[in-house]
Amino acid sequence: MVKLLIDTADLDAIAKAKETGLLDGVTTNPSLVKAQMQKMAKAGEDTSLSNLWKGR
């Protein structure tokens, strides 16, 4: 059996992949998390953990 995983820390990308109904899971690593947090901070987004999971 093949499982489809997405390798990212981008919560929007994970949500979009989940909507397809094909996603079995998510993998990530500290480098991806750091890059995503820097991208969000640069865009002026709140990167606090409590904010990241709101509505997810």
Q: What is the mean pLDDT of each run of 10 residues along the chain (56 residues)?
A: 95 94 96 94 89 66
pLDDT at 10: 93
* Distance separating alpha carbons of residues 10 and 35, to the nearest angstrom: 9
pLDDT at 48: 87
Residue ranges covered by each domain of the chain: 5-46
Whole-prediction pTM: 0.77
CA 31 → CA 12, 18, 44, distances in Å? 18, 22, 20
pLDDT at 11: 87
pLDDT at 50: 80
pLDDT at 32: 96
